Structure 1
């Protein structure tokens, strides 16, 4: 992980799980594989606190562990930053798909990391009864089963050892071997202990499935913008069919026939099979190879090239960034190099139709900001500049990696600015909370009393509160936009 990503991880983990957990997470970010003793020595924390922090990180899927010879080693999950950033979007998506019960189920699961089914259902039922006394029996359990069926929640069995079983597992037969002592436990004893141990059926949020859902949403939106709403819905139907049959890491979906696609369309978009095939042929004719046709026997099968789709969406985001930051002429040069690959400065001037001096400045600016790479091809052994070809090219993976780092830095700055705003207006926010609390607690208050309570806040303070709220809204929207962009770039780098 880069330093910026480590700092962002520390800030996000601290925000959700506390300072001690964040300290352990940051140490693992910087040092990769570490044993428990190394973590204790590096963080200068008490062993009991380090163990609890590791338990929290493991339960929330932020730390992986594996046995290396005789030692257990821990490492921070490289996708941990993406998972934490997408938490608000995960909750909002679940609410839009499954309503309030689904939102509360996901909230409880995210809060605990791993939790039993009965505990989730009981907690959500209590929360719903507080909001609405008339809650139908079985609604929460049905929504929970739907989330499991859609793989938004996954089962993770955990075997807890109570004190009695721990003693049985630890009281092994001791045999002297020289100066050392070995612990040996017979197979029958292990089998008897295993029978008495209860396996808890716990559940956790499947971040991979949510990432797959968000990826499909971005692809469908991109197809809608390029080919229209009908093509977007047809592609959505293909992706919905392939959710179960296709691995999240696969580069292409499984082959699907046009009849299956037509049957999976929404009711209001049912159309003749010939129209479906016409829309499919429109997408197949695109040079980007986003949709491909496989001819087998008498039927035509279609596959979506997920890798090409993600590359196209990311490339559109990169071009938008180049256009906004460097201008239309720089964007034209960037597109030209994507299309033609290696070009000299003179060739760039001719193809892009930009004056020599201006083209040189734009190329140097893009190269100095790591948007372009330059390759030197000497004609002689002495590498003289006058006898050397300088070819410019675009390495899209390197550009996306650079922009991902900048996105993380921007998020870190936005979070720091938000924390500064909260800290600087803390007294005013507490005063507003006290005023609202007084208004709620007073029963049967007339308008004069309420107006007198409102006057506790001066006009200047009300203006300051309005400015603070506006600033928080802008910072929140900026965080959402940058988080979505960072998610897309990190998704591209996984393929």
Structure 2
């Protein structure tokens, strides 16, 4: 029964195969006849022709395979299987193209069936791109003749693509833009200018009152006259061009188009005239300097220094400026600084080498201020840490005493450190000599004479030689000197010492170079150690040759000198390791370490300019990555490598979309990381005939970062002072509690249990659990602020050093 059913099914299948095979044979013959009649197409191979050919071949191969299967043969290794798979793959690849052209094919087939074409086929831009060939039929003959010639490449036209953006993101961006416009409103700025104008009128009234009271006419200097003339001119120009646009000003109150459409020339203008950017940067430096001095010396000294930061001058001019400043200050409104306080403030600033004085041609003593000396106060903790790392705790204490007092004699410094740390004088003296030998401390020039009450200092002297006689007074005399003057002298009176900030700057520069060449956390410990020791030997050999901090290149250093330095400083590295490390540094330091000769085992040079430039570039890239994203860093590096590029070129080279490229470029341009240069094809600079090139001006970017860093440091110092003032009562109670607990702990009449009980009661009495939590939070905040200040100071030092290098190039 089963055999009959199988034979019946097999007969039915054979009949179906024979029927379909005959139909297929007829179709194949028709296709072959159509293909034979089809000529060569000038426009290329037709899509339908390709599909017909492949379909015929595919059906032929299937027929062959079916015949083999009907005969009972195996087709597992038959070559027709591969050929059929090939034709099927081509057909599958053609299917998406046919799907895109479905509308045109349907219209053509419909027109053929109906006998006429109702409408010409219309291209669909959202599915296919067609060449924009709109030539008439009369030119087809000419095109056939020119077909064999070389044609000019015509890029395809850009199609409009719909950008699907979420509505919430649009609303968020609109709200942010509205907030920025509201914060940058010139209405608020006009109120600020009115406030400043009221202050100016008050200063003018105060000036007139001073002249009437003292029967003297105060003359304006040339700088003041020029400043007033420029201010009046700027106000008049702003009034002329103010058309009521209240939403197009930045935080400084200046129009957004003033300094973004046209870049000011560096070499243009009269000599000595600062650009607007330089004036703004100097204002940030003044604000930071004032906050630093107020933190270290108080309000009075900071007001005197602020008067000198505006302009140098004699004591009467300083008094006049201070009187106007104090009268306009909200805190000191009803108090005028007396002359003794001003003189005392000048003496304090001179003691710390911040203020200098000299006598002019009119025999008046003019006071001037050194901004670099003020900015050095913020790196004092790091300098003390450097001294402690190199020479121990006694050297750190010596640096602390010299920084606290500004300048001291050698004998006073040694006695103060020995008394504070309870160390012998000989040990402290040895550390003092080592610091002087390493040039971390320096002597101040001695007074040789006086001229009209102004001291005259010696000009030729060695600032690093120790005095011949020190510590001559006995310890008993030193104890009596607390109450009265010691009768016997020390032997070095009049020879004062101070911290040598330039030497610390050189050490910090070398330390930053070492961190650049050998980053922390290196994977190969042995190689990292040999590289570190080799760079240290290079830097220590270069320390012997005293040079300014902004030296572009070090002097050539031979391998023999390096090995001698290795033995003297016990760096524990062999010569083969040094040679291997030098080869690695020359190849992979990106130009920081170069080989300049072969004498003496090889001459090597350290390029400090290249090192500081790479450090600044790392800071800038880190800021760009934090503020924007990593793709903006890609654009920044591309502009640094290629120079001036257009927006389309940047888009192609970075392989990003046009929208993303424009957004990142405009954001970087707004932050000041890149600059633009308009190039006009004509002299009128019309927008249609002008193209804009983007480029990186690294010195200009670093100047902006100097301004931001100064502002950040000022905010850190102000916040730290506020925290100290806010938690003053808690810290005072803690100090008092610790003193009582030390007294209890030192009492020998009490046993251990009684001591613990009393100490717990005192702690609970002075500080509750909430107070202890607040105090711990305050300590963590102070630690974070101090760490942030240290890092900002390092970055600011690198930025300022880079600017010094760039100025030396000009």
Q: TM-score, normalised by structure 2?
A: 0.54
Q: Is 1:142 paired with 2:142?
A: no
Cα drift, residue 432 of structure 1: 2.7
- Find the aligned partners of 2:763 and 2:598 in 1 and give their Cα distance: 74
Given that residues 337 and 393 in structure 1 are in contact (C-alpha distance below 8 angstroms), is that contact kept between their aligned partners in structure 2?
yes
Tell me what 2:445 maps to. Answer: 157
Moved more, 261-270 or 362-371: 261-270
- Larger relative strand fraction: 1
- Find the aligned partners of 2:675 and 2:644 in 1 and give their Cα distance: 10
Mark the CA change 1:228 to 1:66 in structure 2 (over 3 Å): closer, same or farther: farther
2:574 corresponds to which of 265, 268, 271:
271
- Find the aligned partners of 1:23 and 1:394 in 2 and give their Cα distance: 40
- SS in structure 2 of the partner of residue 450 of structure 1: helix
Given that residues 344 and 391 in structure 1 are in contact (C-alpha distance below 8 angstroms), is that contact kept between their aligned partners in structure 2?
yes
Moved more, 119-128 or 264-273: 264-273
Residue correspondence of structure 1 range 96-107 to structure 2 within 5 A:
96-107=389-400
- Find the aligned partners of 1:242 and 1:67 in 2 and give their Cα distance: 39
Tell me what 1:335 maps to. Answer: 637
Given that residues 533 and 571 in structure 2 are in contact (C-alpha distance below 8 angstroms), is that contact kept between their aligned partners in structure 1?
no
Given that residues 246 and 254 in structure 1 are in contact (C-alpha distance below 8 angstroms), is that contact kept between their aligned partners in structure 2?
no
Q: Deviations over 1:85-113 (max 9, x none)?
A: 11111112112222221112111111222
Tell me what 1:436 maps to. Answer: 738
Cα drift, residue 137 of structure 1: 4.7
Q: Is 1:349 paired with 2:651?
A: yes
Mark the CA change 1:296 to 1:97 in structure 2 (over 3 Å): closer, same or farther: closer
Tell me what 1:472 maps to. Answer: 782
Tell me what 1:123 maps to. Answer: 416
Q: Which has the larger radius of gyration?
A: 2
- Find the aligned partners of 1:389 and 1:315 in 2 and give their Cα distance: 28
Cα drift, residue 297 of structure 1: 5.8
- Find the aligned partners of 1:363 and 1:459 in 2 and give their Cα distance: 53
Residue correspondence of structure 1 range 64-463 to structure 2 within 5 A:
64-70=356-362, 71-129=364-422, 135-159=423-447, 200-225=494-519, 228-248=528-548, 249-265=550-566, 267=570, 269-273=572-576, 275-286=577-588, 288-295=590-597, 300-442=602-744, 443=747, 444=750, 445-456=754-765, 457-463=767-773
Given that residues 289 and 375 in structure 2 are in contact (C-alpha distance below 8 angstroms), is that contact kept between their aligned partners in structure 1?
no
Q: TM-score, normalised by structure 1?
A: 0.86
2:319 corresponds to which of 40, 44, 57:
40
Cα drift, residue 210 of structure 1: 0.4
Mark the CA change 1:20 to 1:403 in structure 2 (over 3 Å): closer, same or farther: same
- SS in structure 1 of the partner of residue 672 of structure 2: coil
- Find the aligned partners of 2:589 and 2:424 in 1 and give their Cα distance: 53
Moved more, 39-48 or 359-368: 39-48
- SS in structure 2 of the partner of residue 138 of structure 1: helix
Given that residues 8 and 81 in structure 1 are in contact (C-alpha distance below 8 angstroms), is that contact kept between their aligned partners in structure 2?
no
What is the Cα-based RMSD across aligned positions, in Å?
Answer: 2.5
Tell me what 2:306 maps to. Answer: 26
Mark the CA change 1:287 to 1:152 in structure 2 (over 3 Å): closer, same or farther: closer
Tell me what 1:185 maps to. Answer: none
Cα drift, residue 204 of structure 1: 1.0
Mark the CA change 1:451 to 1:114 in structure 2 (over 3 Å): closer, same or farther: closer
Mark the CA change 1:446 to 1:279 in structure 2 (over 3 Å): closer, same or farther: closer
Mark the CA change 1:199 to 1:460 in structure 2 (over 3 Å): closer, same or farther: closer
Cα drift, residue 6 of structure 1: 1.0
1:59 corresponds to which of 351, 359, 370:
351
Cα drift, residue 161 of structure 1: 7.6
Mark the CA change 1:428 to 1:204 in structure 2 (over 3 Å): closer, same or farther: closer
Given that residues 147 and 153 in structure 1 are in contact (C-alpha distance below 8 angstroms), is that contact kept between their aligned partners in structure 2?
yes
- SS in structure 2 of the partner of residue 154 of structure 1: strand
Q: Deviations over 1:415-462 (max 9, x none)?
A: 222222222223333333333232222333432222222222322222
Cα drift, residue 51 of structure 1: 2.8
- Find the aligned partners of 2:415 and 2:708 in 1 and give their Cα distance: 43
Tell me what 1:11 maps to. Answer: 291
- Find the aligned partners of 2:382 and 2:655 in 1 and give their Cα distance: 44
- SS in structure 2 of the partner of residue 34 of structure 1: coil
Q: Which has the higher contact order (CA 8 A, sep 6+)?
A: 1
